[in-house]
Amino acid sequence: MIREFEYKGKWWLPSNSRRRIAGTLRFTASGGVYLDLMGSLTATLEMGFPQETATILGISSEGQEITLSKCFQTNATLGISGFPTSSFYANEAFLGAHFNKIENIKFESWAVNYSYLEEWVNTPAFDVRSSKNKMTIKYSRPQPIEAIVKDGWKISIVAKSTLDYRSNVQIEAGIKQRMYIYIQSPSERPFAEFCDIAYQIQNVLSLAVGQPVYPLTIEGTRGFHEKAKKAYSYRPPVEIFYRAKGISEAPDKLHIPRTFFTFNDISSKRFDYFLKNWFKKADLLKPVNDLYFGTLYNPKCT
């Protein structure tokens, strides 16, 4: 969610798809999701605000489907010429899908890249060697580490790698690895339930490194969509964005000696045991956790 973006497109209410209004969607991690419209989503401009709207649908000028959920009108104006404008703030933005209702926002899995995750895991994957006239880089992708927590939810640490090279004039080449926490449900579950699981993982990492941890990217996948004649169609991943105040204040690098514990301290063999205990005791320790993490993320309030 650290990626900022701006999309121009057409926007409408699910209940009135024929009335489409031009506007611009903007997102920053610290500010959140804002939509500025060159008109009104309803036939009559609602001047009294904040007006609450469950969902707003849109399609960008590039053809990407977008859903905004839990939207509040923050401004409405009617100029001297009689041309209206309106603005909305949305709690969440989903890029890559249309959800007509909040209760329809469901996923089967999330892939989350948290700040400090690469440094905390620190699993050897590269073998770099150099001699007088030769340099070699060997990469072996680490095997996923899995844990089954409450109600069949599976939490995995997964490495994803990309190879960067130039095909025409070869002057450089590189391999980049990113670590992700995969959150998988036995079946499609509501957005709020995934948020709860992701928040618990965020707390685990914050406790481990002794620093505020934030989700940098979130990508959700849905189940295959059943069509007529028992055929199934693929549903592309959905990028998820919401406000994360303070995310830009996180240091670039983690100082390992200052961490409370690293992944190597609990090891892959104890990862399942560790996470099961965390989720099992989360409700019991909620008052203590809320106090500790509230202080960690808001030190100025202490």
> How confident is the model over 73-96, as a mean pLDDT?
86
Residues 6 or more apart whose CB falls under 8 angstroms from that of 125 comprise 139, 140, 141, 142, 159, 177
Q: What pLDDT does 166 receive?
A: 65
- Look at residues 218, 200, 295, 215 and name the one whose alpha carbon lies nearest to residue 250: 215
Checking if the pLDDT of 169 tops 80, the result is no
pLDDT of residue 300: 66
Residue 107's nearest CA partner among 196, 231, 190 is 190
**Residue 231: per-residue pLDDT:** 60
Phi-psi region of 64 (alpha: psi -120 to 50; beta: other; left: phi over 0): beta
Whole-number pLDDT of residue 233:
65
pLDDT for 68 beyond 60: yes
Q: Which one has a higher pLDDT value, 20 or 224?
A: 20
Beta bridge pairs of residue 92: 69, 242
- The per-residue pLDDT for 185 is 94
Domain with CATH 2.40.10 in the chain: 5-103
Is residue 94 scored above 70 in pLDDT?
Answer: yes
Q: How confident is the model at residue 46 (pLDDT cuts 50, 70, 90)?
A: low
Task: Say if residues 32 and 87 touch (Cβ distance below 8 Å).
Answer: no
Q: Long-range CB contacts (< 8 A, 24+ apart) of 285-288?
A: none
Q: What is the pTM of this model?
A: 0.88
Higher pLDDT, 245 or 105: 105
Contact 54, 39 (CB under 8 A): no
SS3 271: helix
Q: Which pairing describes strands 52-60 and 135-139: parallel, antiparallel, or unpaired?
A: unpaired
Residue 302 has pLDDT above 60, yes or no: no
pLDDT at 226 over 60: no
pLDDT tens column, 2-25: 889 999 999 999 999 999 999 999
Q: What is the DSSP secondary structure assignment for residue 121, as one 8-state letter?
A: H
pLDDT value for 41: 87
What class, spelled out in words, does domain 5-103 have in CATH?
Answer: mainly beta
Q: What is the mean predicted confidence (pLDDT) over 66-90?
A: 86
- Residue 57 confidence (pLDDT): 97
**pLDDT exceeds cutoff 60 at 143:** yes
For 117-171, list the strands marked E by DSSP: 126-130, 135-139, 145-148, 154-165
> What pLDDT is stored for residue 104 in this prediction?
95
Length of the chain: 302
| Three-state DSSP class for residue 120 | helix
Q: Quick one: average pLDDT of 174-178?
A: 89
For residue 167, what pLDDT band results from cuts at 50, 70 and 90? Answer: low
